[in-house]
Structure 1
């Protein structure tokens, strides 16, 4: 028998090496039993209204997933790594790359092209499954290089929610509730959303008999809107349709009020802004009567398969914990997490990126926001969803000044309507 003699330093080195190997093996075993989800949203910056409630929703989901999930007979812990883009597309891309390097199995991105598109592009390049929601799907699909009539160039990224078709259907079934001259002044910025609606929505509105008054694309961050306002006044527009980020809309509409445009407008139709109570509070008296569009509302008749909450459960919980008015982003964010968890459960192996991608591609489930069905188009990698006509009105009761009411359900008749569209200057 051969005896090997070691001094104290050699023995300590061997012990450290053995511990390191055992720790590494333990980490690998833990990683094999843990599903890691990256979650990227704008919690601060100009788009912060979209991310304001995300922390609360993540708390609900993490609590519901305390015991993990079971997939194909095996139990997995679930870890959600959430990151704030600060409303910066470059930061969104960087955060996505960092999360990919940290080994996430699934990426979730929510709210606006400034967040979703750079995250989706990073995932597509790295071969990581990505699921997103809350932006027009055309701005996601065509805005990232897909061509009409051609096969999808995307193998790893998927998006669900409303598109320009749903927006058109909602507008053209809501606006006739008020008699107007059908002249629409459009404020479409030079960004992914603005370019998509200018290319698709504006021609559809014209075909439906509306006259489009378009002063041209403006750059995000513009501070003087006198040229646009003068044109809208001269043309006598009675409907305005806007797709700016919130600070730009606030600047535009305050100037519109100062320069007399607001008095002639019968329908102030907002999009991408006018979605959240905080934005309306900042507008003061100018907010009352603004038409909006709801991609989620507390009156949606659906439940979260992850947390078990109804829309009212979710909204009431937020108000009780924060003292602040509920927002439609609560349900939108939870619907993304619902869909992501259901995709993981449907995968033959949630740790296999190919298996998870295939599960998303065939996903057909119901979330707190309604159905998410990737089996029926409208194009590959996209599942369309509803957007409903809504309006900010003076609250009849309760602690908040304004109430957010539904005035049209053309894109989801399951959702109850509670009001009729009223003229902006009523």
Structure 2
């Protein structure tokens, strides 16, 4: 997990989940046999080389039988690839599955042997975002603010990406090309969006880059009626009054909230109780990755408990492949995913609204893909431009 570096916020939920469940995972019982369980962790330092070293250390120093991870766009694949090379079962989450598969140099028809992943797809994000764009009006012209890194490449993929699904919903995508992070200037994007009459902008930018775009767009007279943004905008906006987006209508994807009607498979804890425990313990707002992070540990425990031999790595990998487990993040089913080694989580749509103090709160605005949840607010969009 990333405990230091730019992705450290992503490591916090997994560290919390491991600490919370450690006392429940001291042993695994299979019939009359009792196996001791030991948890160990290493810091990826938010870098691919650090992630590979972390896996090597866990194998060399801890003799691990299984790795779980939740990391960034470059670091998570580095962990998974290292586990594949070293023949270690690996379970990961919070990363679109198409980017997880194609970004590692393979195709859905050629599954991995050791590595498993549960999340959602770029097609799922596109469908949720398109549903929100249609609140602005049918057949929108949408400006694409995508970087030149792995996120942008996967979003643009002609077969497995975000773009073809969004276009299939009847929307016209305007993509001026990628930008390098951190961004220095968005004048080219602003000019192209303005020429095309884009009323909606979609992105996977950092908060800082999106704020820079919004500032330059306003200076040029471009005022999008709605911005949809995944990735960092799924995290709590603790400094919303000063992050440069306080007056921006930003919508994002929602994959977990305290309202989700799911329970922990190990102790029955509800999503609401877990979020409250996190806030009391850390003093920070609950983050969306908390649910999947907790589910990582639940699934790992389940795989050990159901493996033919919990000390045997091939047996653990086989147990992961046949896992179908209700978790605090929802049902994780590796027996019927879109491709081998992949399980899906449902997505909803949310929008950041002013809350108490400097914080913004995430309201659910579209839940058609998760009918057990109901929206708690209407999507707010800006007025048409002149």
Match of 1:155 in 2: 113
- 1:249 partnered with 2:210: yes
Q: Report deviation, 1:424.
A: 5.0
Give the 3-state SS of the residue equivalent to 1:53 in structure 2. helix
CA distance in 1, matches of 2:243, 2:192: 23
Quick check: which one's helix share is greater?
1
Deviates more, 1:372-381 or 1:203-212: 203-212
> Do the aligned partners of 1:246 and 1:279 also contact (CA within 8 Å) in 2?
no
CA distance in 1, matches of 2:291, 2:142: 31
CA distance in 2, matches of 1:257, 1:72: 66
> Do the aligned partners of 1:131 and 1:159 also contact (CA within 8 Å) in 2?
yes
Match of 1:334 in 2: 294
- 1:182 partnered with 2:143: no
> Do the aligned partners of 1:268 and 1:424 also contact (CA within 8 Å) in 2?
no
CA distance in 1, matches of 2:382, 2:307: 49
Pair 293,82 (structure 1): closer, same or farther in 2 beyond 3 Å: same
Q: Which runs of 5+ in 1 are unaligned?
A: 1-40
> Do the aligned partners of 1:169 and 1:411 also contact (CA within 8 Å) in 2?
no
RMSD over aligned Cα, in angstroms?
2.2
CA distance in 1, matches of 2:286, 2:365: 18
Correspondence for 2:30 among 52, 71, 79: 71
Match of 1:209 in 2: 170
Correspondence for 1:321 among 276, 281, 299: 281
Match of 1:265 in 2: 224
CA distance in 2, matches of 1:390, 1:423: 13
Give the 3-state SS of the residue equivalent to 1:60 in structure 2. helix
CA distance in 2, matches of 1:97, 1:370: 31
- 1:84 partnered with 2:43: yes
- 1:310 partnered with 2:270: yes
1:17-416 matched pairs, under 5 angstroms: 41-65=1-25, 67-102=26-61, 103-148=63-108, 150-152=109-111, 154-179=112-137, 182-199=140-157, 200-261=161-222, 264-278=223-237, 281=240, 282-284=242-244, 286=246, 289-395=249-355, 401-416=359-374
> Do the aligned partners of 2:239 and 2:358 also contact (CA within 8 Å) in 1?
no
Q: Report deviation, 1:249.
A: 3.2
1:172-230 Cα distance to aligned partner (Å, 9 max, x none): 22322233760111122222222111112112222221111101122232322221122
Pair 327,75 (structure 1): closer, same or farther in 2 beyond 3 Å: same
CA distance in 1, matches of 2:90, 2:124: 23
Q: Which runs of 5+ in 2 are unaligned?
A: none
Q: Report deviation, 1:42.
A: 2.3
Q: Report deviation, 1:288.
A: 5.3
1:62-120 Cα distance to aligned partner (Å, 9 max, x none): 1333x423234322332222222232122112211211223111101113322210000
Give the structure-2-normalised TM-score: 0.91
Give the structure-1-normalised TM-score: 0.83
> Do the aligned partners of 1:178 and 1:421 also contact (CA within 8 Å) in 2?
no
CA distance in 2, matches of 1:347, 1:279: 42
